[in-house]
Amino acid sequence: MSGEPHVKAERAEVGSKDDRPYSPAATAILDAAEELFCARGFSAVSMRDIAAASGQHLSSANYYFGSKAGLFEAAFLRRIVPVNQRRLELLDRNIQAGKCDLPDIVDAYLRPLFEGEADDAGRRARLIMMFSKQLLSNPDEHSYLQSYYDEVSRRFISQIHAARPTMDIRAAIWGYNYMIGILVFTLAGMEPMARLPEELARAIASDSSHEETITRLKTFICAGLEAFATGRPSRRGRKTHV
């Protein structure tokens, strides 16, 4: 698969790196695609399904996006590019303010997923979780999209290592990947959780506020990173990449 974007739409209509807005028709198609991808998964949804749900002609969906892969790319970029830009913005702001400790770094990575109105933030988080799951389960099919994380990965791994110079760079890389794994699992909601006794399930049945979720994630992630900084992680066992 080529590394070039699949999106065939007129850039002035569908939006691009110059941030011009999406056309109403393209927006309707993207909104419908997001809903169906989330509800059924990428493989179970057809372009015809998306066109019908959006109230647009199939020819319009094909014209704007070229294929289901192109539509997935456009939906992915519409959600993840602003989040990653915001992550880098918060990271730079924290560094300029002298806030360079692990909680500041982790907060800059997590917070953009939860900003905004509660409903919109929750939807954005679920969609990015779905995109992440699709990328991880089909790495060859969507490998070109990984490049949109390259700068974020380099910057955050570098800052984690700078915050704890005693941490081996390999541990910083693993710590960053473990952070992503924990975050994807958290965004997936209650469904993938380990089977819990009823009384324990009731204790966490009500959703936390976004701020509580951020705080809980930061506490857990930072504790793991601190452990990497103060001790040598075991090299035994099989390694898996997230």
- Tens-digit pLDDT profile for residues 76-130: 888 888 899 999 999 999 999 999 999 999 999 999 988 876 566 666 777 777 7
pLDDT of residue 57 exceeding 70, the answer is yes
Helix axes 118-137, 169-187, angle to 10 degrees: 120
The number of residues in the chain equals 242
Q: Domains plus CATH for the chain?
A: 11-230 (1.10.357.10)
pLDDT of residue 202 exceeding 50, the answer is yes
The DSSP call for residue 144 is G
Rounded Cα distance between 33 and 6, Å, is 16
Q: Mention every residue, 6+ apart, whose C-beta is less than 8 A from residue 23.
A: 10, 13, 14, 64
Rounded Cα distance between 142 and 159, Å, is 27
Q: Which of 4-13, 111-120, 183-192 has the lowest mean pLDDT?
A: 4-13
pLDDT at 87: 95
Residue, of 200 and 140, whose pLDDT is higher = 200
